[in-house]
Structure 1
Amino acid sequence: MFEYAPAPESRAIVDIRSSYGLFIDGQFTEGTGGRKTVNPATEEVLAEVTEAGETDVDAAVAAARRAYDEVWEPMRGAERAKYLYRIARIVQERARELAVLETLDNGKPIRESRDVDVPLVAAHFFYYAGWADKLRHAGFGPQPRPIGVAGQVIPWNFPLLMLAWKIAPALACGNTVVLKPAETTPLTALAFAEICQQADLPPGVVNIVTGGGDTGRLLVEHPDVDKVAFTGSTEVGRQIAKSVAGTRKRVTLELGGKAANIVFDDAPIDQAVEGIVNGIFFNQGHVCCAGSRLLVQESVAEELLDSLKRRMARLRVGDPLDKNTDIGAINSAAQLDRIRELSAAGDEEGAQRWSPPCELPERGFWFAPTIFTGVTQAHRIAREEIFGPVLSVLTFRTPAEAVEKANNTPYGLSAGVWSEKGSRILRIADQLRAGVVWANTFNKFDPTAPFGGYKESGYGREGGRQGLEAYLAH
């Protein structure tokens, strides 16, 4: 078989400090260590990162409040837009550096960081910069006002992109921000703090506090935070909803998913296989809207699975900095344990596991791309979010059965429908209880399109005009 020579991206473009402090009121504090962030592909320690405590969170929220009252809220929308445009351009200028840093800290392939994550980050800032002076025309009242200080907590699967999803609309609407990145992937958020300095963003408008779950809880429960935005697990989302209940805080939650990817017998098989692979193996399956349940019509199931296995045998697993790599490292040892536990449950419950021949590196956190066939709706692997490169395959006979199986989940974030008939796609999409439905594609994102879920996948929308609403009082 034709083999690619290694094509490694250089690490030299990235200058990682040995330790990082917090970014509060436009300045970095002295780093106090306390938490290490590692490269999941090698287990090498990249840097020590400060664990923010109560006084740190108090200082960050106070800085955000001052900036809101004195500078950012009184500023004209057109002036705020200039800062957002400037940030977007600096992200583009530093795109290669940010992509390498994201891959080192997160484990995702450099091709994804370079071609998907970082371009979308810039696009979100450009898009919301355009809204900053047009909020009266967004459909949320004639005199929409910002809410105040936003406390934002983001996950480790798309560290810089989730930051952009949160910060860009908040700033465009006139709010100030205290953001806590995930404990395993703080480095691009800290690089973004440098970008804020480079853009001459007024001090206190954006503050970055690093740490674990306790730091996030301190931020979410802080009495001077007006708006909470969280992306992460459903379990933590429930805790946040409880903690803000009965307060004046506005809250949006983007939580877990167990998306159905539905393939009908008239679907273009090769195109569908590419969509299935992208739906579950993109970013090692670390995607809340991953197409982790494949529902395929019985009459084409065998043909599709044969084609899918041939395609999976071509996937390259290995060094995330190699531009040929398709599947990188699992983000952490804890996440790898979770994937292994649920895969073992699939074995125990009688599903048939298949992975292509795959030589995994000796160091780091790795899991081969895997499919389970013979899966029923009662299996844990069909019901629980695995958040890894593991696909559960179920079959159906009729469109009604497909819809019933697709909706038989506590989640409702996304879905995919594959068919050559547009009328069938629209009819099925209308019956699916999912916030986003892709037609003959999967995992396509655009800053102009809203994203969010139903049921245990959370509430509120991010992206598009609809993404402004959570940051406006109207």
Structure 2
Amino acid sequence: MLNNLARRFSSRYQTHLLINNQWVKSSSHSTFQTINPATEEVIAEVQRSNEEDVNKAVKAARNAFDNGPWRRMSGRERGALLHNLAHLMTKHQDDLAKLETIDNGKPISDSKNIDVPLAIQCYEYYAGAANNIRGSNIPITGPYLCYTRKEPKGVAGQIIPWNFPLLMQSWKLGPALAAGCTVILKPAELTPLSALKVGELIVEAGFPEGVVNILPGYGDAGAAMVVHPDIDKIAFTGSTEVGLEIMRNASTGNLKRVTLELGGKSPNIVLDDADMDCAIAQAHIGLFLNQGQCCIAGSRLFVQESIYEKFLEKIVESAKTRVLGDPLDPKTTQGPQIDHVQFKKILGYITKGKQEGAKLLLGGNRWGKKGYFIEPTIFADVTDNMTIAREEIFGPVMNILKFKTIDEVIQRANNSQYGLGAGVHTRDIEKALKITNSLRTGTVYVNCYDVFRENTPFGGYKNSGVGRELGEQGLENYLESKTVIVKTSNDTLP
């Protein structure tokens, strides 16, 4: 039986599937519970989509793309609808922030100041970009006029993760809609509510039927999308393991275009000439942001040996300032982990770190008696072969490794299956550029960390993904290039 909190949110927030601009129950009438990770209480019962629902959504999206007005609209018209959506999100930003915090567990200060504003800015960016899609003229020999056109890829299937639900939704929907694609979006089963709320705003903003379809559910719904022959493009953000499976299966039925933003084990390098206080602050953000549940987290913190002991002292003091508690309290800076599975997984990594000889400086335990809270945890004297230095923990566990020389740390930083991000802290621009140019990662931060902007490409090398999101490259993911060659008379060309 739902508690009072769940009843309140069940009536206030959408829990159905969005197909063809209609809110409907799942074909099986089955539901799943979404849980508040701070209280372990049920928030709502959400309709669970299945393969039949995917087929219905794809049919709606296919018809909207092939026969509807969407891809025939001008970029200005599509941009106007995206602006409408951004405006409505701004109007409802407080509700969106509270919903994101309740469903995900992140502090309300983060939801209000990071997730919601960045999501709105992303939609605004692609609203402007929609009217700037253009091909090019190409001079070729002979009596020909040659030019290229940029056209939408078609129906896009999008699967988003639970760590930044609103933000990841905007990273997917923004460029797809600007390009003129239609979409079937599957939010993570752990955090479906903010996606469904945005779905309500999409309908209110005036998007045509079938353009955006939202299917909350589990992996079976995502798997059905990946193999569906009428989906032209798959975009996924999540674990490397699932990404590899998607890559293997995406050619079933047709040759889908695929972009993947996957896991990371990002090196964050502090040289002995760095501004110590700045490096401490950025290392703190780089690991503890979002309870450590960030794919680009600076989870391998390399510190040069001459400042190593001093750095340990200061980073421990910094971590002690974190405030755990009710995520809806503006004073809270660290909320719970997303669910019991992730909670147990992180505690298992902490146990493994101690067993393998890392030195526990801080934390390492559950915080409180209710909710999935874990103390901010710091390990020192970590070596490259330890499990906590090789595998993605996705939690508030900082691992600090010592190094001597720049050439050494470059080699060690690159010795990973991942290549999503990295950080470098130094006052010497030549050292910064040498390290930046040598690291095989999609993003490198210099004297900062976790800076995200809607116009800067984001993605990874190696097992951290395929393709880039955001910026112009993010838009290109949803566009095809068509070459047109027109025979003309010799007299019409200069």
- What interval of TM-score do these two structures reach, taking the shorter chain for normalisation? over 0.9
TM-score normalised by structure 2 residue count: 0.91
The one of 477, 480, 494 aligned to 1:473: 480
Alignment CA distance shift 1:266-1:12 (3 Å): farther
CA distance in 1, matches of 2:30, 2:98: 23
The one of 289, 314, 319 aligned to 2:326: 319
CA drift of 1:356 comes to 5.0
Match of 2:174 in 1: 168
Equivalent AA in structure 2 for residue 192 of structure 1? V
CA drift of 1:344 comes to 1.0
Match of 2:301 in 1: 294
Alignment CA distance shift 1:315-1:46 (3 Å): same
SS at match of 2:35: strand
2:22 corresponds to 1:27: yes
CA distance in 2, matches of 1:98, 1:181: 15
Match of 2:414 in 1: 407
**Deviation string for 1:332-371 (max 9, x for gaps)?**
1011111111111111111111225988231111111111
Equivalent AA in structure 1 for residue 304 of structure 2? Q
Q: What are structure 2's unaligned runs of at least 5 residues?
A: 139-146, 482-494
Counterparts of residues 434-445 of structure 1 (less than 5 Å): 434-445=441-452
Is the contact made by 1:316 and 1:324 (CA closer than 8 Å) also made in structure 2?
yes
CA distance in 2, matches of 1:276, 1:121: 24
Is the contact made by 2:336 and 2:374 (CA closer than 8 Å) also made in structure 1?
yes
Is the contact made by 1:151 and 1:228 (CA closer than 8 Å) also made in structure 2?
yes
CA drift of 1:142 comes to 3.3
Equivalent AA in structure 2 for residue 175 of structure 1? C
Match of 1:98 in 2: 96
Match of 2:386 in 1: 379
Alignment CA distance shift 1:430-1:204 (3 Å): same
Is the contact made by 2:172 and 2:235 (CA closer than 8 Å) also made in structure 1?
yes
CA drift of 1:374 comes to 1.4
Equivalent AA in structure 1 for residue 52 of structure 2? T
CA distance in 2, matches of 1:458, 1:374: 30
Alignment CA distance shift 1:139-1:415 (3 Å): farther
**Deviation string for 1:222-269 (max 9, x for gaps)?**
111000000000000010000014632100000000001100001111
2:44 corresponds to 1:47: yes
Q: Which deviates the most, 243-252 or 146-155?
A: 243-252
CA drift of 1:93 comes to 1.1
Match of 1:142 in 2: 148
Is the contact made by 2:20 and 2:61 (CA closer than 8 Å) also made in structure 1?
yes
Aligned residues: 465
CA distance in 2, matches of 1:12, 1:299: 57
Match of 1:227 in 2: 233
Match of 2:122 in 1: 124
SS at match of 1:144: strand
Equivalent AA in structure 2 for residue 55 of structure 1? E
Counterparts of residues 33-432 of structure 1 (less than 5 Å): 33-69=30-66, 70-136=68-134, 142-245=148-251, 247-356=254-363, 360-432=367-439
C-alpha RMSD over aligned residues: 2.0
Q: What are structure 1's unaligned runs of at least 5 residues?
A: 1-9
Alignment CA distance shift 1:248-1:364 (3 Å): same
CA distance in 2, matches of 1:284, 1:276: 14
CA distance in 2, matches of 1:11, 1:272: 42
Equivalent AA in structure 1 for residue 151 of structure 2? R
Is the contact made by 1:19 and 1:48 (CA closer than 8 Å) also made in structure 2?
no
CA drift of 1:30 comes to 3.1
CA drift of 1:16 comes to 5.0
CA distance in 1, matches of 2:412, 2:189: 36
CA drift of 1:412 comes to 0.1
CA drift of 1:13 comes to 11
Equivalent AA in structure 1 for residue 178 of structure 2? A
CA distance in 2, matches of 1:93, 1:201: 18
TM-score normalised by structure 1 residue count: 0.95
SS at match of 2:131: coil
2:458 corresponds to 1:451: yes
**Deviation string for 1:177-214 (max 9, x for gaps)?**
00000010000000011011110111111000011111
CA distance in 2, matches of 1:11, 1:466: 41
